Structure 1
């Protein structure tokens, strides 16, 4: 079994997804950039629901960290609104998408290729806002990530995070009608789950509890200020309106 280097495996897997046209690795076009400059914009933390605009800080001059948020989708929008953006991602191909948009539109962005399971390479109290779309499903232990987010945010800083609730990991492949697994889903501990991840080229993914996700934020010291749920966007569970994702707004007091 892969253990210590599973995040490197995941980064290589996502690199290939991006090269193959992955939905979350398609950079925005010039028209979307221009609309954002005019105040017409939206971004996603989860598959379908736009993040409420009142969840954001004042964007002009804000220092924003896109945590595992490469792909050229959100950071260009924030830059168009006047923010100073940094994006940390372990996928080279996701960071290349950020480079493409920055070069096309003529702005600067700090790109950091790093593993978010390790201490973040930033000073304490450095950012006004962290934007963290669904991605910690590729990480076994999420609580250290919340601690690092808390550390690098300024006092009053905002953490916007999207995450799954585990329901998707009950199933195997594209079959969302027959429950196959029990939770937790941890391919580093379960050989069948490991083989399933390999068979379906899913990378190594992990289910997490609400205690780990929201509870982990609260234990770290964040104050929860907002929450909503979302569906997969496609498939049987989506058609039945089964919520499989949450997004949260939390503040560092």
Structure 2
């Protein structure tokens, strides 16, 4: 399998604040890194693309589990753009890394999914915690994983989602290591933004979610070690959709590769 180098940087000059420039740089392989430190004034999202025969059921699954899977946009079958989210966008090339599943099994992790894209695929873009991280930082919440050039870790919990049709599975969460005062502030602030997962599902209690070892993250990446003055704070995560699509054993499903998100043109909310 081929896959993007998650820590690779910039190979050509572009404006990291401009979402159009970021997408073009990704498309042209001039930027191959995580997207959590670029395009920080616009909304980013998770990608799940499923065959059209399953699209309505997947949308219903998202709406039944809206905290984990807040729906930002849906493409027409075969279309590789969602005009309501961005104009100059090719979903099959602009995410920077993809995971391709066939019958629930991971078969490839290309940097360009256009070769696997089918005319019947419907792409869904779902809210992502990368969006609220920028909002938290505006209010002075320290996010150590960003200071260290890392991303938040993800975990599969023991909580069941609400099943719809062939889609079901466990809730996935993302974790941020926060000082107690920041954890309280982050809880209050994130609750304002249901499109980016809203308030945490648990604060300081990994066992409450069936998480036995923070160092064993889903996908094997992200900040997992806490400092003595930090507590783990868990938010619902859009990777829940990937789990459900895999469990449904769809003939084809394409998602983003870890920490390489769909960059939209939608501006983040202005501060109150």
After TM superposition, is the score higher than 0.5?
A: no
- Structure showing the higher helix proportion among its residues: 1
Q: Give the TM-score taking structure 2 as reference length.
A: 0.27
- Structure showing the higher strand proportion among its residues: 2
Q: Which has the higher contact order (CA 8 A, sep 6+)?
A: 2
